[in-house]
């Protein structure tokens, strides 16, 4: 009997995440898996993201049931085991025999046939020990355990978040907010989009895409049902899939009077959602979008498709422009700890020492961008990180050695967005601010965790 297409695809994606450092969300929407039926693709997404979100808890069950140390297992064997345990522990609608049989078959297709009896024995042991619990909602039970945790170590274990991150979040934001972040990281995030013209929303409704206004931004839309990626509007670039906090950062960069005869720089532009938003809000400005890798710059050209955007393959740490820019957006590469509900694999890749390396690059990019800012111009520095080393510390380090710049309070810009109707009326502006900076927190706010600073040149 052949393994189901969804489980075969899930196995392949998990292996690529483990071996190549790929991002699961990008792979799930890539061409090789686009031909799966909608039912198979839903199961594929559930399996991949579920395994990655709950990986440490799955491994804990494997350690208890295995005669071998899991760190010594081949990646193919471990991926098959995790898929099996996830189905046994979290998906009560899937028969145990199917979860076990197909995991065994996956090991064989992964050319690890000699491990098939081991996989079979481990999964049968787990299935037998948890047979009485298969009717329970294991996700609900897991969230109950998150709510009952009374210390960082227990919270980390129960929520399948790395202990070192939970300790940091507790120290920076307080234990209750750390609990909120951990719970949010284990949920399925909403799909948010930005619509670039008035007619497209009607077109999406006709295509049975049900939308609702954003919870953070009234100008954003949440997808309640339907798949926007199969629509003509998505293929033609008339909508962008973009978290509401990410949209907010682009709006802050574009606040104030539209740039008419000047130029705007998005110096870390991929995947392009912020670039398009900036370009459409400033149609008479020339928008330059830089991307380090030529192949990503090529993709960016195809994705933006806006007349006033020019894509340049360049290192943001050594920008090649002779001219200066009226506005600059520096949404820099970062750890991504504000996006763990969408990118759960980050939890298992990131190390504390990575933050110092990221900070060095971020300071270099910010200094390079500041050098390109016109007199009287404004620059927005942003990350999707919760870590102070990548946020306030970068701004302070860059400005400490660079004269003629000052941090501006973003409260004024947020009030402008409220007055224009773009910021949702129910959102408390004070909750979005950490001193002069923007700070969204997953779960506290209905979006990813973002940081932004507005810097002006005197």
DSSP characters over 8-73: HHHHHHHHHHHHH---HHHHHTSGGGTTS-HHHHHHHHHHHHHHHHTHHHHHHHHHHH-SS-GGGS
To which CATH superfamily is domain 5-133 assigned?
A: NusB-like (1.10.940.10)
Q: What is the DSSP string of 421-446?
A: T-B-TTS-GGGGEETTEEE--BTTBS
pLDDT of residue 136: 55
Q: Residue 430: pLDDT above 90?
A: yes
Q: With both helix axes pointing from N to C terminus, report the angle between 96-109 and 75-90 in degrees, rounded to the nearest 10.
A: 170
Reported as a pLDDT band with limits 50, 70 and 90, residue 258 is: low
The predicted model gives 204-216 an average pLDDT of 95
Q: Can you give the pTM of this predicted structure?
A: 0.93
Q: State the catalytic residues.
A: 384
Query: pLDDT by residue (tens digit) across 3-39?
Result: 899 999 999 999 999 999 889 999 998 888 988 998 9
Reported as a pLDDT band with limits 50, 70 and 90, residue 330 is: very high
Query: pLDDT by residue (tens digit) across 349-406?
Result: 999 999 999 999 999 999 999 999 999 999 999 999 999 999 999 999 999 988 899 9
Nearest to 438 by CA among 382, 390, 387: 382
Portions of the chain given CATH number 3.40.50.150: 244-457
Q: Residue 131: pLDDT above 70?
A: no
Q: What is the DSSP string of 136-201?
A: S-HHHHHHHHHHH--SHHHHHHHHT--HHHHHHHHHHH-HHHHHHHHHHHTSPPPEEEEE-SHHHH
pLDDT of residue 88: 94
Query: pLDDT by residue (tens digit) across 284-325?
Result: 889 999 988 887 777 777 666 788 888 888 999 999 998 899
The predicted model gives 160-183 an average pLDDT of 98
Q: Residue 130: pLDDT above 90?
A: no
CB crowding 87-100: b at 16 or more within 10 Å, else e: bbbbbeebebeebb
Using a 10 angstrom Cβ sphere, with 0-12 exposed, 13-18 middle and 19 or more buried, the burial of residue 71 is exposed
Portions of the chain given CATH number 1.10.940.10: 5-133
CA distance from start to end of the chain: 70
Query: pLDDT by residue (tens digit) across 176-199?
Result: 999 999 999 999 999 999 998 878
pLDDT of residue 110: 83
pLDDT of residue 148: 87
Nearest to 30 by CA among 19, 41, 39, 15: 41
CATH number of 244-457: 3.40.50.150
């Amino acid at each position: 009997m052949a393994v189901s297409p969804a489980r075969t695809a899930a196995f392949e994606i998990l292996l690529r995440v483990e071996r190549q450092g790929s991002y699961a969300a990008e792979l799930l929407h890539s061409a090789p898996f686009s031909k799966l039926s909608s039912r198979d693709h839903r199961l594929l997404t559930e399996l991949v993201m579920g395994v990655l979100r709950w990986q440490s808890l799955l491994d804990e069950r494997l350690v208890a049931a295995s005669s071998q140390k899991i760190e010594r297992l081949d990646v193919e064997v471990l991926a098959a085991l995790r898929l099996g345990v996830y189905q046994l522990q979290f998906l009560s609608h899937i028969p145990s025999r199917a979860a076990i049989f197909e995991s065994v078959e996956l090991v064989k297709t992964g050319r690890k046939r000699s491990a098939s009896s081991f996989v079979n024995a481990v999964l049968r042991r787990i299935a037998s020990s948890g047979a009485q619990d298969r009717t329970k909602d294991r996700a609900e039970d897991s969230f109950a355990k998150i709510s009952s945790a009374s210390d960082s170590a227990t919270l980390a274990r129960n929520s399948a978040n790395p202990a070192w991150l939970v300790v940091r979040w507790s120290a920076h934001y307080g234990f209750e907010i750390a609990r909120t972040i951990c719970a949010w990281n284990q949920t399925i995030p909403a799909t948010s989009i930005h619509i670039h013209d008035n007619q497209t929303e009607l077109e999406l409704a006709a295509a049975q895409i049900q939308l609702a206004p954003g919870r953070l931004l009234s100008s954003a839309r949440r997808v309640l049902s339907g798949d926007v990626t199969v629509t003509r509007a998505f293929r033609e670039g008339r909508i962008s899939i973009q978290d509401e906090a990410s949209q907010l950062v682009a709006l802050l960069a574009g606040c104030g009077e539209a740039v008419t005869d000047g130029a705007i720089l998005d110096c870390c532009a991929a995947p392009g959602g912020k670039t398009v938003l900036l370009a459409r809000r400033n149609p008479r400005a020339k928008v330059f979008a830089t991307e380090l890798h030529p192949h990503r710059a090529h993709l960016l050209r195809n994705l933006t498709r806006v007349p006033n955007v020019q894509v340049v393959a360049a290192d943001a740490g050594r920008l090649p422009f002779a001219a200066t820019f009226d506005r600059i957006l520096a949404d820099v590469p970062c750890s991504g700890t504000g996006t763990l509900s969408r990118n759960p694999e980050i939890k298992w890749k990131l190390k504390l020492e990575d933050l110092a390396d990221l900070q060095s690059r971020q300071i270099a990019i910010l200094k390079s961008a500041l050098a390109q800012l016109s007199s009287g111009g404004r620059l927005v520095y942003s990350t999707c990180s919760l870590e102070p080393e990548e946020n306030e510390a970068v701004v302070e380090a860059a400005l400490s050695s660079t004269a003629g710049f000052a941090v501006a309070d973003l409260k004024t810009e947020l009030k402008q967005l409220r007055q224009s109707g773009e910021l949702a009326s129910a959102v408390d502006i004070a909750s979005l601010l950490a001193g002069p900076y923007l700070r969204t927190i997953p779960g506290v706010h209905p979006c990813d965790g973002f940081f932004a600073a507005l810097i002006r040149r005197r």
